[in-house]
Amino acid sequence: MPEVAVRELTMAEAVREALSEEMRRDPTVFIMGEDVAEAGTPFKVLSGMVEEFGKTRVIDTPISEPGFTGIGVGAAMTGLRPVVDIMFGDFLTLVMDQLVNQAAKVHYMSGGAWKVPMVLRTTLGASRRSAAQHSQSLHAWLSHVPGLKVVLPSTPYDAKGLLKTAIRDDNPVIFFEDKMMFRMKGPVPVGDYTIPFGLADIKREGEDISIVATSSMVQVALGAATMLEEIGISAEVVDPRTTWPLDEKTLIESAKKTSRAIVLDEGYEKYGVTAEIASVIATGAFYDLDAPVKRIGAMHVPIPFSPPLEDATIPTEKMVFEAARAMCKRG
Amino acid sequence: MKTETKQTVTASGTGSSEKWLRMYRGMEMIRLFEEQVNELYTRAVMPGLAHLYIGEEAVAVGICDALHRDDYITSTHRGHGHCLAKGAATDRMFAELLGKEAGYCRGKGGSMHIADPASGNLGANAIVGGSAGIATGAAFSAKHRGTKQVAVCFFGEGALGQGLLYEVMNLARLWNLPVIYVCENNMYNEYTHFSETTAGEILARPAAFGIPAESVDGQDVRAVHAAASHMIEEARAGKGPSFLLCNTYRYHGHHVGDVSREYYRAKQEEVQWKAERDPIKVLSGWLLGEKIATQAQLDEIHSQAKSEIDAAVAFALQAPYPGTDQVGEDVYA
Ligand SMILES: Cc1ncc(C[n+]2csc(CCOP(=O)(O)OP(=O)(O)O)c2C)c(N)n1
């Protein structure tokens, strides 16, 4: 980065700053969702925004997710840039038709005549003891649909830069925020910058094994890397940042360099994001791999409420550490 | 515990004193239960989220007292009151809220998902409006099987925003299904007043489908009970669905952590509802005025309920967590 002031912001503050700067820059950008105005969302991510932008641009809706998401699609097709707020990622199930059959396909079906520059912000992640209908990580579903782009920031810095890119993109973009990360702090530059989609970021360099991790799992991977360092294993942590478009090149190069890869994601392991990424690495780095690519994701169960049960379903630093140690045949 | 048959009463309340005392006890139980939930949650003993039903007790109790034990209900994220009123035991409720194996869902569901086949509880639901289909489906099943059971679908006025509700109301009328849609209008969808989210008249919505609809004072258990009894009888007699709008108020925040509420509702409004429209006080005032009960009797009910709740909390606190070997169980039947 050039010489700009950098301060520590939380993830929530970084998201808010990106939205506010974009709304100041572009009068067609507006926010729509449940309890986004005075309440500033239940996680207080949007606190203060209605005070600055007023109720015509920070709009509270009824609890009608398919309705206001559909309105977002139509508004995006006709000159506005909506940022639709779906309070919990679990409620994506309600808006799937609007996203999958409408937003994702309008551009293609119209032969490029119409476009849908809409962002849908929502959450992923368990660990809040919120049980099966408020804890899911459903980003794999959306990554599966041509026409949608899917963004998974893991730091405040990435959140701000990626959200700005999302708002300026002419396609429907689904932006997932980990509920457990809203209060996590990190350095964020003052003012404008964007991060291109499809560009992975090496969060930690290493030599012996690559850990590809998304969103909530990046911190888990970094924690595991620290543990591995103590037993002499040097782990590289790679964050794809967007599952679609996917930066295949960086993932493959990292695996070629280290010769081993673990793919870590909080969505379900079965048929999940880890499967696609592991396949990309297994194919692209085949001749350089010393071990089969290992996938670690959520257990194949609805997320349970009880703390010991919930903890058993989500990947931990220890699980990643053990898997890496076994792959590197140490200890 | 519920008895198998119930008499209908008129709004003037000529039912037996036993019945009104039972409902008084039911409301006291819910109030004391929820006060303990508040306490357990604030002390960080209870994980997750806690949406308290305090202030709305007359709705669940007035309606469930008119149901048979094998009639069905579906409930919401604010569901403790419905579950208790339909016959759930306080000890297994608390155990579930704390994530213990002895809980109704073996710890897998928690506060927002209590389900109990023995009392006809198809489950509380954390998706707003999410159980409208399930309740209507249970009514379909009862009719199909010829059992004379009815289903009650409890939901908050926020669920009026969900399209599913209108699809199933249409079907319930077309197919004459024994279902009662109970809208608990506590005036706030989380932190937004319902007038900002709800166009037109609420009762005009069921009316558009030809579903009989009525609005009652949800703080008056006798009024709720009378209206519900009539609707339940009609449903049992094969006359199809009804819609009951209960005007009520939640005393606490949307959830326990929602403490600074001034930005969405005035303190004065809360004070006034508690002072003037408290469902327990409304009933006790009537019971005492009509000399159906003495203050000593009501005090006795209170202290008995209190001991039951205290014992239930103690049970739940010492109950073990499920073993992690259980995490993969119950995914499939
Ligand atoms: C489909 C869906 N959208 C949003 C939410 C988040 N949410 C939980 S409770 C609630 C408000 C519900 O209001 P209401 O139905 O009136 O019930 P109350 O909380 O007042 O009892 C919202 C928006 C949800 N659980 N489900």
* pLDDT tens, position by position, B252-261: 999 999 999 9
Residue B10 confidence (pLDDT): 43
Question: What's the whole-number mean pLDDT along residues B153-178?
Answer: 98
Whether residue B320 lies within 8 A of chain A, CB to CB, comes out as no
Cα distance between residue B293 and residue B198, in whole Å = 41
Residue A2 confidence (pLDDT): 59
Query: CB-based contacts of B289: which residues, under 8 Å, 6+ apart?
Result: none
From residue A204, alpha-carbon distances to A239, B5, B227 in Å are 9, 69, 66
**Counting Cβ atoms within 10 Å, is residue A162 exposed (0-12), middle (13-18) or buried (19+)?**
buried
Residue among A34, A132, A305 whose CB faces B190 most closely: A34
Residue A192 C-beta-side C-alpha neighbours within 13 Å: 7
- A330, A228 Cβ separation under 8 angstroms: no
Indicate if ligand 1 lies below 6 Å from the C-beta of B126.
yes
**Is residue B100 assigned to a domain?**
yes
Taken in order A281, A282, A287, A290, the sign of the CA dihedral is positive
Query: What residues of A are in contact with residue B331 (Cβ under 8 Å)?
Result: 300-302
Q: Is A276 helix (H, G, I), strand (E, B) or coil?
A: helix
Q: Is B126 in contact with A134 (Cβ distance < 8 A)?
A: yes
From residue B65, alpha-carbon distances to A130, B26, B62, B175, B226 in Å are 31, 9, 6, 26, 10
Q: What is the ipTM of this complex?
A: 0.95
Q: How many C-beta atoms lie closer than 10 Å to residue B54's C-beta? A: 24
**Are A6-189 and A201-327 the same fold in CATH?**
yes
Whether residue B263 lies within 8 A of chain A, CB to CB, comes out as yes
Cα distance between residue A122 and residue A202, in whole Å = 25
Cα distance between residue B325 and residue B318, in whole Å = 20
pLDDT, tens only, B91-130: 999 999 999 999 999 999 999 999 999 999 999 999 999 9
Compare all CA atoms of chain A with the CA of B330 and give the residue at the minimum distance: A301
**% of residues, chain A, pLDDT over 90:** 98
Nearest to B108 by CA among A129, A248, A238: A129
Q: Residue B4 above 80 pLDDT?
A: no
- Active site positions of A, annotated: 134
Assigned CATH topology for domain A201-327 = Rossmann fold (3.40.50)
Nearest to B305 by CA among B25, B14, B17: B25
State the pLDDT confidence band at B210, using cuts at 50, 70 and 90: very high
State the pLDDT confidence band at A322, using cuts at 50, 70 and 90: very high
- B116, A134 Cβ separation under 8 angstroms: no
Q: Residue B15 above 90 pLDDT?
A: no
**Is residue B326 assigned to a domain?**
no
Average confidence score pLDDT of chain A: 97
Q: Is B284 helix (H, G, I), strand (E, B) or coil?
A: helix
Global pTM?
0.96
- For the CA of A133, the closest atom of ligand 1 is 25
Instruction: Give the rounded distance of the alpha carbon of B3 from its chain centre.
Output: 18
Whether residue B191 lies within 8 A of chain A, CB to CB, comes out as yes
Cα distance between residue A245 and residue A169, in whole Å = 13
Element holding A211 (H helix, E strand): strand A209-213
Q: How many C-beta atoms lie closer than 10 Å to residue B329's C-beta? A: 11
Q: How many C-beta atoms lie closer than 10 Å to residue A190's C-beta? A: 12
Query: CB-based contacts of A37: which residues, under 8 Å, 6+ apart?
Result: A49, A50, A55, A58, A59, A60, B192
Cα distance between residue A102 and residue A120, in whole Å = 14
Structural domain A6-189, CATH architecture: 3-Layer(aba) Sandwich (3.40)
- For the CA of B188, the closest atom of ligand 1 is 20
Cα distance between residue B282 and residue B55, in whole Å = 11
Nearest to B220 by CA among B78, B35, B20: B20
State the pLDDT confidence band at B44, using cuts at 50, 70 and 90: very high
Residue B68 confidence (pLDDT): 98
**% of residues, chain B, pLDDT over 90:** 95
Question: What's the whole-number mean pLDDT along residues A3-31?
Answer: 97
- A267, A137 Cβ separation under 8 angstroms: yes
Question: What's the whole-number mean pLDDT along residues A302-309?
Answer: 98
Element holding A99 (H helix, E strand): none
B306: domain CATH number is: 3.40.50.970
The domain tally of chain B equals 1
Compare all CA atoms of chain A with the CA of B254 and give the residue at the minimum distance: A42
pLDDT, tens only, B288-309: 999 999 999 999 999 999 999 9
**Is residue B333 assigned to a domain?**
no
Query: What residues of A are in contact with residue B108 (Cβ under 8 Å)?
Result: 131-132, 302, 304-306, 309
Q: Residue B8 above 50 pLDDT?
A: no
Residue A3 confidence (pLDDT): 79
How many interface pairs between A and B have CB atoms less than 8 angstroms apart? Answer: 120
Q: Residue B7 above 90 pLDDT?
A: no
pLDDT, tens only, A164-222: 999 999 999 999 999 999 999 999 999 999 999 999 999 999 999 999 999 999 999 99
- A211, A324 Cβ separation under 8 angstroms: yes
Give A63 Cα–ligand 1 centroid separation in angstroms.
7
Residue A1 confidence (pLDDT): 53
pLDDT, tens only, A55-89: 999 999 999 999 999 999 999 999 999 999 999 99
Cα distance between residue A229 and residue A109, in whole Å = 51
Residue among A39, A302, A308 whose CB faces B324 most closely: A308
Whether residue B107 lies within 8 A of chain A, CB to CB, comes out as yes
DSSP output for B288-310: HHTTSS-HHHHHHHHHHHHHHHH
Q: Is B56 helix (H, G, I), strand (E, B) or coil?
A: coil
State the pLDDT confidence band at A229, using cuts at 50, 70 and 90: very high
State the pLDDT confidence band at B5, using cuts at 50, 70 and 90: very low
Residue A277 C-beta-side C-alpha neighbours within 13 Å: 37
Indicate if ligand 1 lies below 6 Å from the C-beta of B53.
no
Query: CB-based contacts of B223: which residues, under 8 Å, 6+ apart?
Result: B11, B62, B216, B217
Domain boundaries, chain A: 6-189, 201-327
pLDDT, tens only, A230-242: 999 999 999 999 9
Query: What residues of B are in contact with residue A39 (Cβ under 8 Å)?
Result: 190-192, 263-264
